[in-house]
Amino acid sequence: MKKILAIAVLAGAATLPVPALSAAFDFNGSFAQDNDVVRFDFSLGLPGAVTLFTSSWLGGGFDPILTLWDGGGNQILEQDDGSLGGALVSNGVTYNYGEFDSYINLNLAAGNYIATLTQYDNFSVSGILADGFLRDTDPVFTAAFGCSNGRFCEGSLVDSNNNPVEPNRTNAWDVHFLNVDSASVNSVPEPPTWMLLGLSGLFFLGGRLPKACSSAGKSVSTAVFV
């Protein structure tokens, strides 16, 4: 009788829900226009530390911005230059990231989240994803920064060693998610018409928003949500 009971208990335990194991997800692609936006949806079955980072800057890619949103499209944080550079392993591959890559490391509660990728200085208009981004009406906004390519331009920028960076960037991007349960690429909703009209007037004269400070003075952004 004891042996039969033990088998019955094990069979019952096997039917209990088991939290998904955290994993790593790597995505890469290219922008067609300066103001493209790539949206990623990801989820956590349990609270934990999550890392999101880009690794395309060192290979010549454009200056990326990662913005993190909750599942309802409310902004949690927006990150331009998040680290002085380093290396992380994802799915057995070591990815190097530079000081102008975007790097986010934070603790999140279990749930669904959204991340968006844009090119500097295409920041979000507000704390609501549906409101869109600053450069939604200008597909070649980086031409005003200055470079011979006429798009994907970095302009006059120096690194933490005071060395000028190459102003002609490529349209390539690489984004990595560490310690999440799932991640996928999805489309971004179009901003409302009234927002597009307002932004058109705001950026009619072009120009670049100055970076807040040198990357040498920035630290990795860390936040805790419970």
pLDDT (mean) for 76-94: 93
pLDDT at 94 over 70: yes
Which DSSP letter does residue 96 get?
E
Q: Residue 23's pLDDT is what?
A: 95
The per-residue pLDDT for range 42-52, each reduced to its tens digit, is: 999 999 999 99
Greater confidence, 212 or 163?
163
142-151 — which CB contacts under 8 Å span 24+ positions? 142/34, 142/62, 142/208, 143/34, 143/206, 144/206, 144/207, 144/208, 145/208, 151/33, 151/34
Higher-scoring residue by pLDDT: 9, 129? 129
pLDDT class of 175 with cuts at 50, 70, 90: very high
Instruction: Report whether 156 contacts 208 (CB < 8 A).
Output: no
3-state secondary structure of 35: coil
Mean pLDDT on 29-37: 97
Each residue's pLDDT tens digit, 117-135: 999 999 999 999 999 999 9
According to the CATH classification, is domain 20-217 in 2.60.120.380?
Answer: yes
Among residues 158, 159, 162, 138, which one has the least CA distance to residue 150?
138
Dihedral of alpha carbons 136, 220, 160, 173, sign: negative
Q: Is the pTM for the entire model greater than 0.85?
A: no
User: Domain residue spans in the chain?
Assistant: 20-217
User: What is residue 127's predicted lDDT score, i.e. its pLDDT?
Assistant: 98
What secondary structure does DSSP assign to 51-86, as a single string? Answer: EEEE--TTTTB--EEEEEEETTSBEEEEESS--S-E
% pLDDT > 90, the chain: 67
